[in-house]
Amino acid sequence: MLTIIPAIDIIGGKCVRLSKGDYNQKKVYNENPLEVALSFEAHGLKRLHLVDLDGAKAQNVINWKVLEQIASRTSLEIDFGGGIKADSDLDIVFNSGATMATIGSVAVKSPGLFFKWMEAFGAEKLILGADVNNRKIAISGWLEVSDIELGDFLNNYIQKGVKKVLCTDISKDGMLQGTSHSLYNEIMQQHPGLYLIASGGVTSVDELYKLAENKIPAAIIGKAIYEGEIGLNDLQKLVLTGEFN
């Protein structure tokens, strides 16, 4: 069963989308992220991926009040990412109502800190962020590409107890040109049992069916919703069938 996870990206407290992670290619879709989240909930969706793009750039959590507002006014299960670099950031995120935190940059630059958090909060509450550009890990809101290969990165962390991975193909993100089925299938073949969240370029309901058929556990949808490529009514019907959640 594929879990559908709509995304809200925040800059300046507003709901935006970027193309290929480029902050210069920003489009504001709604001034009020809570309104968007309430709409998701009203259509039967239960999860939310909330990204603090200001925080990712600034290296500390900034838009926690948006998280707090959505968490207190909806029953959505929220995973929050962007700018989580220190104990204080993670405390803010969980105290503001996030169920899970997505950690990318720290896992690359300070693995010891990541494992400290995993020990403190448990593997179920931490999602390893694996954002890739040409199979290399990118960090800091995709502003920096490392030399670390995706395969090595995943092997290292999964062997040490990571259970959830959010993998975004940056080249696909926000482009509405389809998602990286081969990449996600490859990851699942190498790591059966992993809770993989596929992200980047999901453009149609057909693609959701294909991800489900390939036993991908979850998928994030962003721009396709905001641009009307996938309607919320369509997602509601999918959830009602019981094939998706």
Distance between CA atoms of residues 150 and 138, nearest Å: 10
Judged by phi (left if over 0) then psi (alpha if -120 to 50, else beta), residue 120 lies in alpha
Distance between CA atoms of residues 6 and 222, nearest Å: 6
Q: Which residue among the candidates 9, 52, 54, 173 is catalytic per the annotation?
A: 9
Q: Which residue among the candidates 54, 79, 131, 169 is catalytic per the annotation?
A: 131
How many residues are given for the chain?
245
Q: Which residues pair with 79 in a beta bridge?
A: 49, 100
Pairing of strands 14-19, 22-30: antiparallel
Is residue 206 part of the annotated active site? The answer reads no
Tokens 């290292």 correspond to: 156
Is residue 9 part of the annotated active site? The answer reads yes
* Token pair recorded at residue 239: 């959830």
Known catalytic residues are 9, 131
